[in-house]
Amino acid sequence: MLTELKREAYEANLALQQHGLVQLTFGNASALDRRRGIFAIKPSGVPYARLTASDMVLVDLAGKKVEGDMKPSTDTPTHRRLYHGFKKIAGVVQSRSVHATAFAQAGLSIPIFGTTHADYFNGDIPITRKLTAMEIEDAYEASTGHIIIERFLADDLDPLDNPGILVNRRGPFAWGASAAKAVEAAVAIETIAHLAMMTMELAPRLKTIEPELHDKHFARKHGSNAYYGQP
């Protein structure tokens, strides 16, 4: 099962590059086996072209490396914090997708203008507050996870209805019920960010989507009455 967990994380990391969501050695993906309390994550600083499934590093939810010849991603404490805070997720992605990262660097959430956005998010894609100087100096990666959880608690957001966030000055994090779903959410965030940026250029005064249209599109894919796709 842990071999399969490594393969799941490996395939998610390759998918990030295939979808153009990362550059150089930026970004990472992880996959969690919640029953065992172990997740597999990309090793730090290894080019995607050189990755193999056996390179994935296994880490437990206490932060201890369980298996692997290399150091895990430097973002491992962020992934671990998200797994602790969001009990229904089993995959986390940190991408560097261009348009979503531009919103993050500008300190802006992504407004919900259309149905493409509403298919994936129950509202704007939120942004965290900035990290304080002390948080940056003292456990930077764990603090990043903390401000993500903090933002969701402050607005009582459901992490499965809102499968991602922008970290202020940094970029997007996404998650899901599996590593593959986390990648899908990361792709959606970048698509939504690109569309939002073009929409804001074309119609700077445009208001966000009508509530009834938003609710219809979100409900088609989410919740007990969802009817999109195959059973």
- pLDDT tens sequence across 140-197: 999 999 999 999 999 999 999 999 999 999 999 999 999 999 999 999 999 999 999 9
- Whether the predicted pLDDT of 228 surpasses 80: yes
Q: Is residue 100 part of a domain?
A: yes
Specify the pLDDT at position 114.
98
Mean pLDDT calculated for residue range 218-224? 92
User: What 3-state DSSP class applies to 194?
Assistant: helix
* CB 164 within 8 Å of CB 97: no
How large a percentage of the chain has pLDDT more than 70?
100
- pLDDT tens sequence across 80-95: 999 999 999 999 999 9
- Whether the predicted pLDDT of 223 surpasses 90: no
d(CA 169, CA 12): 24
d(CA 183, CA 7): 14
The residue behind tokens 């993050």 is 104
The one catalytic residue among 33, 60, 119, 124: 119
* Total number of domains in the chain: 1
d(CA 24, CA 28): 11
* CB 91 within 8 Å of CB 178: yes
Using 50, 70 and 90 to split pLDDT, how confident is the model at 41? very high
Known catalytic residue: 227?
A: no
Q: Is residue 230 part of a domain?
A: no
Domain residues for 153?
2-221
Q: Is residue 227 part of a domain?
A: no
Specify the pLDDT at position 194.
98
- Whether the predicted pLDDT of 66 surpasses 90: yes
The one catalytic residue among 138, 161, 215, 228: 228
Listed residue (22, 15, 17, 60) closest to 41, CA to CA: 60
CA-to-CA separations, 124 to 89, 113, 138, 155, in angstroms, rounded: 20, 9, 30, 12
* CB 13 within 8 Å of CB 3: no
Known catalytic residue: 228?
A: yes
- Whether the predicted pLDDT of 50 surpasses 90: yes
Question: Where residue 211 sits, what CATH number does that domain have?
Answer: 3.40.225.10
Q: Is residue 226 part of a domain?
A: no
Q: How buried is 224 (Cβ within 10 angstroms: 0-12 exposed, 13-18 middle, 19+ buried)?
A: exposed
Task: Please state the pTM of the whole predicted model.
Answer: 0.96
- pLDDT tens sequence across 96-129: 999 999 999 999 999 999 999 999 999 999 999 9
- Whether the predicted pLDDT of 224 surpasses 90: no
- Whether the predicted pLDDT of 1 surpasses 80: no
